[in-house]
Amino acid sequence: MSVVEVDPRFRVTIPKEIRAKLRVTEGQKLYVVSFGDSFIMKPVPDDPAHRLDEVLGDFSFDKEARRKAEKWLFENPRRRR
């Protein structure tokens, strides 16, 4: 664990050991997500569309699947939050 300081422009420097471990490079984009009273930073894949294809594989979303998804969303509005 490392301690960093927020500068007057609200920037932080990611410690060298963390940059090396996660292979963060200069100019790379990171997601910053709030999580309770904390936040998480995750590297954005170089090609998000390609990475999504890897995760989804041969996923297809036809009209029937869309109809079922829309029906589920309308029946379960609180679960989406």
What confidence tens digit (pLDDT) does each residue in 15-56 have?
Answer: 999 999 988 899 998 989 998 999 999 888 777 778 778 888
Measured CA angle at 69 (ends 68, 74), to 5 deg = 100
Using an 8 Å Cβ cutoff, are 23 and 14 in contact?
no
Residue 59, beta-bridge partner list = none
**DSSP codes, 35-66:** ETTEEEEEEPPSSHHHHHHHHHTT----HHHH
The answer on pLDDT for 6 being more than 90 is yes
